[in-house]
Amino acid sequence: MTKLVQIFATRWGIIAVGAVIGILAPLLQKWGNPPNMGVCVACFERDIAGTLGLHRAAVVQYMRPEIIGFVLGSMIAAYAFKEFRARAGSAPIVRFMLGVFAMIGALVFLGCPWRAALRLAGGDGNAVFGLLGLIGGIWVGTLFLRADYNLGRSQSTHTTVGWLLPLTMLGFLVLMLMFPQVEGQDKSGILFYSVKGPGSMHAPILVSLGVGLLIGFLAQRSRFCTMGAIRDLLLFRQTHLLSGFAALIVVAFITNLILGQFHPGFAKQPVAHTMGLWNFGGMVLAGLAFALAGGCPGRQLFLAGEGDGDAAVFVLGMIVGAGIAHNFGLASSAEGVGPYGIPAVIIGLLACLFIGFTMRKRNA
């Protein structure tokens, strides 16, 4: 009989991983990342979309090494423990669209579930609306899951399929090194760089990359997933993943207290707005999309590192979605929702409901 559960996938293992992330994310903020944004998968993929020129919102353009590290760190862990399996073919276009809508929802709230946790741990009361929305969206997802919603089987496939997103991430890293940021310049070679705003706030490249690789490794081993944490509680009354997510929040809160990064309140919170209804609504959309796609945005990066080509497609959907969001005025700012953010959330919800209702199979 093969060894059943390796140490990081045990209850204490995932709690330890949550705790490590809860220390490292606030530290990344201390070392230069934006406030209450030590790690944000949605914001950081949006920043990558910016540096690539997929949108021209000047304040959010930077090649975030954390995202690169998440994929490559996970890949290293998967290979080290013989878990790399190239697989693909489970409704990729649907996953792509779910990624687009997940990003739109997240950008209306101004964060993914990881950032919602960190905002909460930083004292941002607006994050409560976001977390409630996340729970609501995931809950709707569980209704579909109970009704036999599924995107169909993926198949084992050529190794190259599983390598393409990690190689792309490596390519992004090479681009960043070839066209490094130049002080005061908004462009370096082909890459766009923020001169001010959140995109200009970042920890040193090697620190971001190193932390990203470590988190990628640990998250792959522990199967860390912020959406699954809520989903499994609602669907199965299982608290395994939740214990990791809770550890992240609690330890991040303590770390913020120690580092002087805890500022409770609702008004003037960093990179946040106070429109409670749309903080809620944006995350309902994001939560539903993550639930329908089988993983939070971090988990999709870790899966992509393990060779999951369908997760890779979701990641690309999120990056393209960020470009769309900023080009069409869907993303929020500190002042509130963007010009077309509200209709975008409604359209996104309709699209996700359509996908959820129609993609049900009687026998999977």
Partner 1 sequence: MSSIVDARGLSCPQPVLMTVKEIKKIQRGEIVVLVDTDTSKENVSRAAASHGWSLKSVEPDGTGYRIHISKG
Q: Please, what is the Cα angle at 128 between 122 and 129, to 5 degrees?
A: 135
Residues in 112-151 at the binding interface with partner 1, rule: CB under 8 A? 145-146, 150-151
Instruction: Find, among 43, 53, 45, 48, the residue nearest to 108 by Cα.
Output: 43
C-beta of residue 137 within 8 angstroms of C-beta of residue 287: yes
With CB under 8 A as the contact rule, the residue among 64, 231, 273, 326 that binds partner 1 is 231
Token output for 127: 């994050």
Q: Which of 175, 214, 235, 359 binds partner 1 (CB under 8 A)?
A: 235
Applying CB under 8 A, the span of 168-176, 210-218, 228-236, 347-355 interacting with partner 1 comes to 228-236
Instruction: Give the nearest distance from C-beta 88 to partner 1 in angstroms.
Output: 10
> Hey, which residues between 79 and 118 contact partner 1 (CB under 8 A)?
83, 85, 87, 90
Q: How far apart are CA 182 and CA 303, in angstroms?
A: 34
What are the structure tokens assigned to 346, written together? 């409604």
Which listed residue (294, 297, 305, 356) binds partner 1 by CB under 8 A? 294
Q: Is 309 in the site for partner 1 (CB under 8 A)?
A: no
Asked if 240 is part of the footprint of partner 1 (rule: CB under 8 A), the reply reads yes
Work out whether 158 is an interface residue with partner 1 (CB under 8 A): no
Q: Is 354 in the site for partner 1 (CB under 8 A)?
A: no
Nearer to partner 1, 4 or 267 (CB): 4
Report the C-alpha gap between 153 and 89 in whole angstroms: 7
Helix (H) / strand (E) element for 251: namely: helix 240-259
Q: Does 310 bind partner 1 (CB under 8 A)?
A: yes
Q: Please, are residues 122 and 35 in contact by the beta-carbon 8 Å criterion? A: yes
Q: Which of 26, 38, 73, 228 contacts partner 1 by CB under 8 A?
A: 228
C-beta of residue 103 within 8 angstroms of C-beta of residue 76: no
Give yes or no for a contact between 108 and 330, defined as CB atoms under 8 angstroms apart.
Answer: yes
Comparing CB distances to partner 1, the nearer of 228 and 244 is 228
Min dist CB 223 to partner 1, Å, is: 5
If one asks whether residue 342 binds partner 1 (CB under 8 A), the answer comes out as no
Smallest separation (angstroms) from partner 1 to the CB of 155: 6
**Nearest-approach distance from CB 90 to partner 1, in angstroms:** 7
358 is an interface residue for partner 1 by CB under 8 A: no
Number of residues that bind partner 1 (CB under 8 A): 30
- Please state the closest distance from residue 150 (CB atom) to partner 1, in A: 5
Smaller CB separation from partner 1, 7 or 178: 7
SS3 for 295?
A: coil
Q: Give the contact letters, 4-23, x = binds to partner 1 (CB under 8 A), - = no.
A: xx---x--------------
User: Under a CB-based contact definition with an 8 Å cutoff, are residues 308 and 88 in contact?
Assistant: yes
Number of other CB atoms surrounding residue 104 within 10 Å: 29
Structure tokens at 248: 């992240």
Nearest residue (CB) to partner 1, 63 versus 151: 151
| Number of Cβ within a 10 Å radius of residue 263 | 14
- Classified as helix, coil or strand, 264 is coil
- CA gap 243, 265 in Å, rounded: 26
Distances (CA, A) of 173 to 48, 114, 168, 320: 11, 23, 9, 19
Positions touching partner 1 (CB under 8 A) are: 1-2, 4-5, 9, 83, 85, 87, 90, 145-146, 150-156, 223, 228, 231-232, 235-236, 238, 240, 294-295, 310, 364
